[in-house]
Amino acid sequence: MLAFIPFVGFTALVAVLAWWYTRKDDLSNSEGYYLAGRSLTAVFIAGSMMLTNLSTEHLVGLNGLAYRQGFIVMAWEVIAAITIAAFAFIFCLNI
């Protein structure tokens, strides 16, 4: 039960900060909603793409699979990194 209180507090903090920083943004069309009105910098776009790619599958699943089958399973992530970098470059050019 004690672990629930920090989780709720941190979630509320993130919600309040997100509302505070986006309260003046125009979210009435798809460009304003999905692309944050083209107001994000390259650092935010790259961070968003990187964190979207990270998940429990990467932190637990690929580690266990690499232990079991060898390091070759990480080739998937090498290819994904190249693709993510290409997409980040494309999205950053459209800012």
Mean pLDDT, residues 16-24: 85
Sequence-distant (≥ 6) Cβ neighbours of residue 58 within 8 angstroms: 77
The 10s digit of each residue's pLDDT in 29-86 is 766 666 666 777 777 777 777 777 777 777 788 888 888 888 888 787 778 778 878 8
Planar angle of CA 48, 49, 50, nearest 5 degrees:
95
Whole-number pLDDT of residue 11: 94
Contact 73, 62 (CB under 8 A): yes
Whole-number pLDDT of residue 32: 66
Task: Look at 7 and 3; give whichever has higher pLDDT.
Answer: 7
